[in-house]
């Protein structure tokens, strides 16, 4: 198993914060234009660690967008409305009046899209006095620790991934759930945007070449199988993929920006701050077709 290392870089430094994945990046001010050399080392740090954290950042929406655009086109969420002046940015808000939080289940972003997100940048504006952390899990390790027999069995399987998963929410749509439980998160009609897609269960990361168990909350069933036939194996793989030894936990502070690689991680936003407010700005980078 390959764990992240405290690699030596020329322009930045990193310090990992868990055995399985995750590192803090030191020596970078994201509000300033970055040279190609610095950006290349940040990309290397992301590939090495899957989740990278930048502390003590002071970013306007324009500055966060400028950093995000260095990685590719911005992905617009098909179901969620962006900020009025910055539609590429999704403001993630939970107040004491909200029962549910956004992202409060294990998933990888935009898995239901034909070309799921490369990565997500989440910037903390206001955080609770305690709680509101985000968990991450290493999907390389989830695949590599499977038995040879299981790897052989799942090698050709493909999953049907659904954006508005009525099955898992008692028949309620996103709009119905969010209207009832999240007063500040506004759903939009996706229109003709494709929100159900089929992907390989075992994915190859396009930059590292490593195999990934590509599973998450958007998976509904295997292609060519019924829900009932698919459910036992999907349930096993979902549970296996979040074993504690595969995970890391990011504790937020105001001014923290966390950037994660959706191609080889899942994440889970913990809803453990019922009497407090948490406000974040999220930008998602377009990805490619899984293979």
Q: Under the phi-then-psi rule, with left for phi > 0, alpha for psi from -120 to 50, and beta for the rest, what region is 50?
A: left
**N residues, the chain:** 291
In angstroms, rounded to a whole number, what is the distance separating the alpha carbons of residues 253 and 127?
6
Residues 6+ apart with CB under 8 A from 138: 20, 21, 50, 246, 247, 248, 264, 265
Residue 200 lies inside a defined structural domain of this protein: yes
Residue 6 lies inside a defined structural domain of this protein: no
The total number of structural domains that make up the chain: 1
Residues 6+ apart with CB under 8 A from 70: 34, 39
pLDDT value for 286 = 97
pLDDT tens per residue, range 70-126:
999 999 988 888 999 999 999 999 999 998 898 999 999 999 999 999 999 999 999
Residue 162 lies inside a defined structural domain of this protein: yes
SS3 content of the chain, % helix, strand, coil (to 5): 20, 25, 50
pLDDT value for 238 = 98
Tokens of 277: 């407010």
Residues 6+ apart with CB under 8 A from 262: 108, 109, 110, 111, 116, 117, 118, 119, 120, 287
Give the residue numbers spanning the domain of 47.
13-285
In order, the DSSP letters of 21-34 are: S-EEEES--TTSPP
Residue 260 lies inside a defined structural domain of this protein: yes
Residue 69 lies inside a defined structural domain of this protein: yes
Which ranges of the chain have pLDDT less than 70? Answer: 1-6, 165-182
Residue 274 lies inside a defined structural domain of this protein: yes
C-beta of residue 53 within 8 angstroms of C-beta of residue 25: yes
Residue 83 lies inside a defined structural domain of this protein: yes
Catalytic sites, residue numbers:
107, 109, 267, 282
pLDDT value for 202 = 98
| CATH of residue 221 | 3.60.130.10
pLDDT value for 8 = 79
Residue 139 lies inside a defined structural domain of this protein: yes
3-class secondary structure, 174: helix
């Amino acid at each position: 198993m390959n764990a992240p290392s405290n690699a030596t870089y020329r322009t930045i430094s990193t310090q990992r914060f868990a055995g399985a994945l995750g590192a803090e990046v030191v020596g970078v001010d994201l509000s300033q234009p970055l040279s190609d050399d610095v950006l290349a080392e940040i990309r290397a740090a992301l590939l090495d660690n899957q989740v990278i954290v930048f502390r003590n950042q002071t970013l306007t929406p324009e500055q966060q967008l400028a950093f995000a655009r260095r990685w590719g086109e911005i992905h617009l969420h098909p179901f969620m409305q962006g900020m009025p002046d910055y539609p590429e940015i999704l403001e993630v808000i939970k107040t004491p009046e909200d029962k549910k939080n956004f992202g409060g289940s294990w998933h990888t972003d935009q898995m239901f899209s034909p070309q799921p997100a490369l990565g997500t940048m989440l910037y903390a504006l206001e955080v609770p006095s305690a709680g509101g952390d985000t968990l991450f899990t290493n999907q390389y390790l989830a695949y590599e620790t499977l038995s040879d027999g299981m790897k052989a069995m799942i090698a050709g399987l493909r999953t049907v991934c659904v954006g508005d998963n009525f099955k898992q929410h008692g028949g309620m749509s996103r709009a119905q759930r969010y209207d009832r439980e999240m007063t500040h998160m506004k759903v939009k009609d996706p229109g003709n945007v494709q929100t159900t897609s089929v992907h390989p269960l075992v994915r190859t990361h396009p930059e590292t070449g490593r195999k990934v168990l590509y599973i998450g909350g958007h998976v509904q069933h295997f292609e060519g199988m019924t829900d009932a036939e698919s459910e036992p194996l999907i349930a096993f793989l979902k549970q296996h993929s979040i074993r504690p030894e595969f995970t890391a936990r990011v504790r937020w502070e105001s001014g923290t920006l966390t950037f994660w690689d959706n191609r080889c991680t899942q994440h889970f936003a913990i809803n453990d701050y019922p009497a407090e407010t948490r406000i974040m700005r999220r930008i998602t980078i377009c990805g490619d077709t899984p293979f």
